[in-house]
Amino acid sequence: LAKTTQPISMDSYEGQEVNITCSHNNIATNDYITWYQQFPSQGPRFIIQGYKTKVTNEVASLFIPADRKSSTLSLPRVSLSDTAVYYCLVGPQGANDYKLSFGAGTTVTVRA
């Protein structure tokens, strides 16, 4: 999997938008960008995945520029319950890719 770099921590307040940027300069042509979210005392859960441009679902948006060397996870109007660790992973889709590795992630703390 391509190496990724993301901030260790971010603080925000309720109602604000949180943007987490992940750098992945060595991303390969067939790599996808995947984000997981982990709440305290729980296992991670998948939140969004993209290949290029923009992807949006009920939880977040993922923005990927044309060169794909970085991506930004956007959490709109966060609440206290969005306090979690967010992991950025970059790797290929395919039958042989079955070993996800998670780095330290970005700890997002939302305050009232």
In the complex, the residues that contact another protein under the rule CB under 8 A are 32, 34, 36, 41-46, 49, 87, 89, 91, 93, 95-105
Question: How many CB atoms are closer than 10 A to CB 101?
Answer: 9
User: Which residue's CB is nearer to another protein, number 16 or number 21?
Assistant: 21
Tokens 């306090």 locate to 83
User: Which residue's CB is nearer to another protein, number 75 or number 88?
Assistant: 88
CA–CA distances in Å: residue 77 to residues 13, 22, 38, 58, 65: 9, 20, 18, 12, 23
Task: Please state the closest distance from residue 14 (CB atom) to another protein, in A.
Answer: 26
What type of residue sits at position 6?
A: Q
Task: Please state the closest distance from residue 105 (CB atom) to another protein, in A.
Answer: 6
User: Which residue's CB is nearer to another protein, number 36 or number 73?
Assistant: 36
55, 72 in Cβ contact below 8 A? Answer: no
Task: Please state the closest distance from residue 42 (CB atom) to another protein, in A.
Answer: 6
